[in-house]
Protein backbone atom coordinates (compact mmCIF):
# COMPACT_ATOMS: atom_id res chain seq x y z
CA UNK A 1 0.00 0.00 0.00
CA UNK A 2 2.80 2.43 0.90
CA UNK A 3 4.50 1.72 -2.43
CA UNK A 4 1.27 2.67 -4.18
CA UNK A 5 0.96 5.93 -2.24
CA UNK A 6 4.56 7.03 -2.78
CA UNK A 7 4.73 6.05 -6.45
CA UNK A 8 5.55 8.63 -9.13
CA UNK A 9 1.98 8.27 -10.35
CA UNK A 10 0.88 9.90 -7.10
CA UNK A 11 2.96 12.96 -7.94
CA UNK A 12 1.40 13.06 -11.41
CA UNK A 13 -2.07 12.91 -9.85
CA UNK A 14 -1.08 15.60 -7.35
CA UNK A 15 -0.09 17.95 -10.18
CA UNK A 16 -3.42 17.37 -11.90
CA UNK A 17 -5.29 18.08 -8.67
CA UNK A 18 -3.14 21.14 -8.00
CA UNK A 19 -3.68 22.84 -11.36
CA UNK A 20 -7.32 24.03 -11.05
CA UNK A 21 -6.66 25.13 -7.45
CA UNK A 22 -3.53 27.04 -8.47
CA UNK A 23 -5.27 28.97 -11.24
CA UNK A 24 -8.09 29.97 -8.88
CA UNK A 25 -5.71 30.81 -6.01
CA UNK A 26 -3.61 33.02 -8.31
CA UNK A 27 -6.80 34.78 -9.35
CA UNK A 28 -7.57 35.34 -5.69
CA UNK A 29 -4.10 36.82 -5.17
CA UNK A 30 -4.67 39.44 -7.87
CA UNK A 31 -8.12 40.33 -6.56
CA UNK A 32 -7.21 40.57 -2.90
CA UNK A 33 -3.90 42.32 -3.56
CA UNK A 34 -6.03 45.02 -5.16
CA UNK A 35 -8.25 45.16 -2.08
CA UNK A 36 -11.30 43.12 -3.17
CA UNK A 37 -12.23 39.88 -1.43
CA UNK A 38 -13.43 37.40 -4.04
CA UNK A 39 -15.12 34.37 -2.52
CA UNK A 40 -17.00 34.06 -5.81
CA UNK A 41 -14.06 31.98 -7.06
CA UNK A 42 -16.14 28.85 -6.54
CA UNK A 43 -18.82 30.19 -8.86
CA UNK A 44 -16.26 31.51 -11.33
CA UNK A 45 -14.62 28.07 -11.54
CA UNK A 46 -18.01 26.41 -12.03
CA UNK A 47 -19.14 28.74 -14.77
CA UNK A 48 -15.69 28.44 -16.38
CA UNK A 49 -16.02 24.64 -16.39
CA UNK A 50 -19.48 24.88 -17.94
CA UNK A 51 -18.63 27.30 -20.73
CA UNK A 52 -15.40 25.46 -21.52
CA UNK A 53 -17.57 22.42 -22.17
CA UNK A 54 -20.02 24.49 -24.24
CA UNK A 55 -17.30 26.04 -26.41
CA UNK A 56 -15.52 22.73 -26.93
CA UNK A 57 -18.75 20.85 -27.67
CA UNK A 58 -20.01 23.26 -30.33
CA UNK A 59 -16.70 24.23 -31.94
CA UNK A 60 -14.76 21.00 -31.45
CA UNK A 61 -11.70 22.80 -30.07
CA UNK A 62 -10.53 22.92 -26.43
CA UNK A 63 -8.79 26.24 -27.22
CA UNK A 64 -12.19 27.74 -27.98
CA UNK A 65 -13.40 26.16 -24.76
CA UNK A 66 -10.63 27.93 -22.84
CA UNK A 67 -11.58 31.23 -24.47
CA UNK A 68 -15.21 30.70 -23.47
CA UNK A 69 -14.16 29.89 -19.90
CA UNK A 70 -12.06 33.07 -19.66
CA UNK A 71 -14.87 35.26 -20.97
CA UNK A 72 -17.44 33.61 -18.70
CA UNK A 73 -15.18 33.92 -15.65
CA UNK A 74 -14.47 37.56 -16.41
CA UNK A 75 -18.19 38.21 -16.93
CA UNK A 76 -19.07 36.88 -13.48
CA UNK A 77 -16.08 38.69 -11.96
CA UNK A 78 -17.21 41.94 -13.60
CA UNK A 79 -20.55 41.67 -11.82
CA UNK A 80 -18.70 41.20 -8.54
CA UNK A 81 -16.42 44.15 -9.33
CA UNK A 82 -19.24 46.53 -10.19
CA UNK A 83 -21.28 45.55 -7.15
CA UNK A 84 -18.29 45.68 -4.78
CA UNK A 85 -16.33 48.65 -6.16
CA UNK A 86 -18.96 50.95 -7.65
CA UNK A 87 -21.90 50.23 -5.35
CA UNK A 88 -19.77 49.24 -2.32
CA UNK A 89 -21.91 46.25 -1.42
CA UNK A 90 -20.49 43.87 1.18
CA UNK A 91 -18.01 41.76 -0.78
CA UNK A 92 -18.75 38.54 1.10
CA UNK A 93 -22.46 38.87 0.40
CA UNK A 94 -21.81 39.63 -3.27
CA UNK A 95 -19.51 36.65 -3.67
CA UNK A 96 -21.94 34.31 -1.93
CA UNK A 97 -24.79 35.46 -4.17
CA UNK A 98 -22.68 34.91 -7.29
CA UNK A 99 -21.76 31.40 -6.14
CA UNK A 100 -25.45 30.57 -5.86
CA UNK A 101 -26.13 32.20 -9.23
CA UNK A 102 -23.41 30.10 -10.88
CA UNK A 103 -24.67 26.88 -9.29
CA UNK A 104 -28.27 27.43 -10.34
CA UNK A 105 -27.44 29.03 -13.67
CA UNK A 106 -25.12 26.26 -14.89
CA UNK A 107 -27.63 23.58 -13.88
CA UNK A 108 -30.40 25.34 -15.79
CA UNK A 109 -28.26 26.05 -18.87
CA UNK A 110 -26.79 22.55 -18.87
CA UNK A 111 -30.24 21.00 -19.12
CA UNK A 112 -31.33 23.61 -21.65
CA UNK A 113 -28.31 23.30 -23.97
CA UNK A 114 -27.33 19.65 -23.62
CA UNK A 115 -30.88 18.32 -23.20
CA UNK A 116 -29.72 16.04 -20.42
CA UNK A 117 -29.91 16.14 -16.65
CA UNK A 118 -26.68 16.12 -14.71
CA UNK A 119 -23.92 16.27 -17.31
CA UNK A 120 -22.84 17.28 -20.81
CA UNK A 121 -21.86 14.91 -23.61
CA UNK A 122 -18.23 13.79 -23.75
CA UNK A 123 -15.94 16.56 -25.00
CA UNK A 124 -12.48 16.74 -26.50
CA UNK A 125 -9.51 17.70 -24.33
CA UNK A 126 -5.94 18.74 -25.09
CA UNK A 127 -3.36 16.32 -26.43
CA UNK A 128 -0.80 15.62 -23.66
CA UNK A 129 2.74 16.92 -24.01
CA UNK A 130 5.97 15.07 -23.38
CA UNK A 131 8.67 17.39 -22.06
CA UNK A 132 12.03 16.71 -23.82
CA UNK A 133 15.01 15.67 -21.65
CA UNK A 134 12.94 15.75 -18.44
CA UNK A 135 10.77 12.87 -19.64
CA UNK A 136 13.91 10.73 -20.12
CA UNK A 137 14.99 10.94 -16.46
CA UNK A 138 14.50 7.54 -14.76
CA UNK A 139 11.65 7.52 -12.26
CA UNK A 140 10.50 11.14 -12.16
CA UNK A 141 10.51 11.22 -15.96
CA UNK A 142 7.11 9.50 -15.81
CA UNK A 143 5.69 12.79 -14.51
CA UNK A 144 6.82 14.67 -17.63
CA UNK A 145 5.80 12.09 -20.26
CA UNK A 146 2.13 12.96 -20.45
CA UNK A 147 1.49 16.47 -19.17
CA UNK A 148 -1.55 18.56 -19.99
CA UNK A 149 -0.59 21.85 -21.69
CA UNK A 150 -2.63 23.59 -18.98
CA UNK A 151 -0.29 22.22 -16.30
CA UNK A 152 2.70 23.70 -18.16
CA UNK A 153 0.78 26.96 -18.57
CA UNK A 154 0.02 26.95 -14.86
CA UNK A 155 3.73 26.89 -13.98
CA UNK A 156 4.36 29.75 -16.42
CA UNK A 157 1.55 31.82 -14.88
CA UNK A 158 2.86 31.23 -11.34
CA UNK A 159 6.36 32.46 -12.23
CA UNK A 160 5.02 35.32 -14.36
CA UNK A 161 2.65 36.45 -11.60
CA UNK A 162 5.45 36.46 -9.04
CA UNK A 163 7.49 38.67 -11.34
CA UNK A 164 4.61 40.98 -12.26
CA UNK A 165 3.47 41.60 -8.70
CA UNK A 166 6.92 42.28 -7.24
CA UNK A 167 9.04 43.58 -10.13
CA UNK A 168 6.81 45.77 -12.29
CA UNK A 169 5.13 49.16 -11.96
CA UNK A 170 1.76 47.51 -12.50
CA UNK A 171 2.38 45.10 -9.62
CA UNK A 172 3.49 47.90 -7.32
CA UNK A 173 0.39 49.94 -8.09
CA UNK A 174 -1.92 46.94 -7.71
CA UNK A 175 -0.46 46.15 -4.30
CA UNK A 176 -0.55 49.80 -3.27
CA UNK A 177 -4.31 50.11 -3.83
CA UNK A 178 -4.79 47.04 -1.64
CA UNK A 179 -2.57 48.33 1.13
CA UNK A 180 -3.22 52.07 1.23
CA UNK A 181 -5.64 53.29 -1.45
CA UNK A 182 -5.68 56.85 -0.08
CA UNK A 183 -1.91 57.18 -0.48
CA UNK A 184 -2.03 55.54 -3.91
CA UNK A 185 -4.76 57.96 -5.01
CA UNK A 186 -2.71 60.90 -3.77
CA UNK A 187 0.16 59.75 -6.00
CA UNK A 188 -2.13 59.66 -9.03
CA UNK A 189 -2.93 55.94 -9.10
CA UNK A 190 -6.50 55.23 -10.21
CA UNK A 191 -7.68 53.01 -7.36
CA UNK A 192 -10.93 51.98 -9.02
CA UNK A 193 -9.22 51.02 -12.29
CA UNK A 194 -6.66 48.80 -10.61
CA UNK A 195 -9.29 47.13 -8.46
CA UNK A 196 -11.37 46.36 -11.55
CA UNK A 197 -8.29 44.94 -13.25
CA UNK A 198 -7.44 42.78 -10.23
CA UNK A 199 -10.94 41.31 -10.05
CA UNK A 200 -11.13 40.71 -13.82
CA UNK A 201 -7.80 38.88 -13.76
CA UNK A 202 -9.16 36.71 -10.98
CA UNK A 203 -12.16 35.93 -13.18
CA UNK A 204 -9.96 34.95 -16.13
CA UNK A 205 -7.69 32.70 -14.07
CA UNK A 206 -10.56 31.20 -12.09
CA UNK A 207 -12.33 30.45 -15.37
CA UNK A 208 -9.25 28.59 -16.66
CA UNK A 209 -9.12 26.64 -13.40
CA UNK A 210 -12.71 25.56 -13.96
CA UNK A 211 -11.98 24.72 -17.59
CA UNK A 212 -9.28 22.29 -16.47
CA UNK A 213 -11.91 20.32 -14.56
CA UNK A 214 -14.18 19.81 -17.54
CA UNK A 215 -11.54 19.60 -20.30
CA UNK A 216 -8.75 17.63 -18.64
CA UNK A 217 -9.98 16.21 -15.36
CA UNK A 218 -13.27 14.72 -16.52
CA UNK A 219 -13.69 15.48 -20.27
CA UNK A 220 -17.32 16.26 -19.40
CA UNK A 221 -19.22 18.93 -17.47
CA UNK A 222 -21.06 17.69 -14.40
CA UNK A 223 -23.38 19.83 -12.29
CA UNK A 224 -21.57 21.37 -9.30
CA UNK A 225 -18.36 19.63 -10.37
CA UNK A 226 -16.12 22.14 -8.57
CA UNK A 227 -17.08 20.53 -5.26
CA UNK A 228 -15.76 23.35 -3.08
CA UNK A 229 -12.43 23.74 -4.88
CA UNK A 230 -12.91 27.50 -5.09
CA UNK A 231 -13.01 27.69 -1.30
CA UNK A 232 -9.97 25.40 -1.02
CA UNK A 233 -8.16 27.77 -3.43
CA UNK A 234 -9.01 30.68 -1.12
CA UNK A 235 -7.62 28.75 1.83
CA UNK A 236 -4.46 28.03 -0.15
CA UNK A 237 -4.13 31.71 -1.04
CA UNK A 238 -4.31 32.65 2.66
CA UNK A 239 -1.89 29.89 3.63
CA UNK A 240 0.43 31.13 0.87
CA UNK A 241 0.27 34.65 2.34
CA UNK A 242 -1.24 36.24 -0.80
CA UNK A 243 1.94 35.38 -2.71
CA UNK A 244 1.85 33.55 -6.10
CA UNK A 245 4.60 31.03 -5.32
CA UNK A 246 3.38 30.57 -1.74
CA UNK A 247 -0.17 30.02 -2.98
CA UNK A 248 1.03 27.45 -5.50
CA UNK A 249 2.91 25.62 -2.74
CA UNK A 250 -0.23 25.50 -0.61
CA UNK A 251 -2.27 24.28 -3.60
CA UNK A 252 0.29 21.54 -4.17
CA UNK A 253 -0.14 20.47 -0.56
CA UNK A 254 -3.88 20.13 -1.15
CA UNK A 255 -3.16 18.36 -4.45
CA UNK A 256 -1.04 15.77 -2.66
CA UNK A 257 -3.82 15.26 -0.09
CA UNK A 258 -6.32 14.70 -2.89
CA UNK A 259 -3.97 12.30 -4.72
CA UNK A 260 -3.38 10.31 -1.53
CA UNK A 261 -7.13 10.21 -0.94
CA UNK A 262 -7.60 8.62 -4.36
CA UNK A 263 -4.90 6.06 -3.61
CA UNK A 264 -6.48 5.14 -0.28
CA UNK A 265 -9.86 4.30 -1.77
CA UNK A 266 -10.59 0.62 -1.93
CA UNK A 267 -8.39 -0.52 0.98
CA UNK A 268 -11.18 -1.07 3.48
CA UNK A 269 -11.47 2.43 4.97
CA UNK A 270 -15.00 3.87 4.54
CA UNK A 271 -15.07 6.07 1.43
CA UNK A 272 -16.79 8.90 3.29
CA UNK A 273 -13.85 9.27 5.68
CA UNK A 274 -11.32 9.18 2.86
CA UNK A 275 -13.19 11.87 0.93
CA UNK A 276 -12.98 14.14 3.97
CA UNK A 277 -9.16 14.33 3.85
CA UNK A 278 -8.76 17.46 1.63
CA UNK A 279 -11.46 19.35 3.53
CA UNK A 280 -10.08 18.43 6.95
CA UNK A 281 -6.68 19.64 5.72
CA UNK A 282 -8.33 22.90 4.59
CA UNK A 283 -9.75 23.52 8.07
CA UNK A 284 -6.46 22.66 9.77
CA UNK A 285 -4.54 24.98 7.46
CA UNK A 286 -6.98 27.83 8.02
CA UNK A 287 -6.94 27.29 11.78
CA UNK A 288 -3.15 27.53 11.81
CA UNK A 289 -2.67 30.21 9.16
CA UNK A 290 -5.41 32.80 9.56
CA UNK A 291 -4.07 34.19 12.81
CA UNK A 292 -0.53 34.47 11.46
CA UNK A 293 -1.19 35.58 7.87
CA UNK A 294 -1.42 39.30 7.26
CA UNK A 295 -3.84 40.20 4.49
CA UNK A 296 -3.47 43.43 2.49
CA UNK A 297 -4.44 46.26 4.85
CA UNK A 298 -7.36 47.51 2.74
CA UNK A 299 -8.57 44.05 1.65
CA UNK A 300 -12.36 43.96 1.68
CA UNK A 301 -12.72 47.67 2.48
CA UNK A 302 -14.58 49.71 -0.16
CA UNK A 303 -12.72 52.84 -1.23
CA UNK A 304 -14.48 56.21 -1.08
CA UNK A 305 -12.62 58.89 -2.96
CA UNK A 306 -12.34 62.06 -0.90
CA UNK A 307 -13.79 65.10 -2.58
CA UNK A 308 -11.77 68.30 -2.30
* Domain edges within the chain: 2-125+148-289
Tell whether the model's pLDDT for residue 273 goes beyond 80. no
d(CA 279, CA 220): 24
Select the more confidently predicted residue: 267 or 114. Answer: 114
C-beta separation of 161 from 244 below 8 A: yes
| CATH code at 2-125+148-289 | 1.10.3470
Select the more confidently predicted residue: 87 or 279. Answer: 87
DSSP 147: B
pLDDT band for 267, please (50, 70, 90 cuts): low
Average pLDDT over every residue of 128-134? 82
DSSP 61: -
Per mean pLDDT, which range of 71-80, 247-256, 290-299 is the poorest?
A: 290-299
Average pLDDT over every residue of 74-90? 97
pLDDT band for 305, please (50, 70, 90 cuts): confident
pLDDT tens per residue, range 34-69? 999 999 999 999 999 999 999 999 999 999 999 999
Q: What local confidence, expressed as pLDDT, does residue 198 receive?
A: 98
Average pLDDT of the chain?
A: 89
d(CA 109, CA 241): 37
Q: Is the dihedral of CA 233, 238, 242, 247 positive or negative?
A: negative
DSSP 214: I
DSSP 86: I
**What does pTM read for this prediction?**
0.93
Q: What local confidence, expressed as pLDDT, does residue 2 receive?
A: 43
Q: What local confidence, expressed as pLDDT, does residue 283 receive?
A: 75
Select the more confidently predicted residue: 265 or 132. Answer: 132
Can you list the pairs that 287-294 forms with residues at least 24 positions away whose Cβ atoms lie under 8 Å?
289/235, 289/238, 289/239, 290/238, 293/238, 293/239, 293/241, 293/242, 294/241
Average pLDDT over every residue of 162-182? 97
Closest Cα to residue 19, out of 54, 45, 39, 43? 45
Tell whether the model's pLDDT for residue 5 goes beyond 70. no
Average pLDDT over every residue of 156-170? 98
pLDDT tens per residue, range 189-202? 999 999 999 999 99
Amino acid sequence: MLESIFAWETLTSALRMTTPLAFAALGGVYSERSGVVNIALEGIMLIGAFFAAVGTYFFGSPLVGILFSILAGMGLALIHAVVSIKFKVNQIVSGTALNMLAAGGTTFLSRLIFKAAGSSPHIKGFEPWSIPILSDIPGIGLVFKSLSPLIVFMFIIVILSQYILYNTVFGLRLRSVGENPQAADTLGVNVYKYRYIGVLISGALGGIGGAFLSLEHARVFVENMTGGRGFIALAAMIFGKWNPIGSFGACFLFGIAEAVRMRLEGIGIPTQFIQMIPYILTMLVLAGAVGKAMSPAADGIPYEKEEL
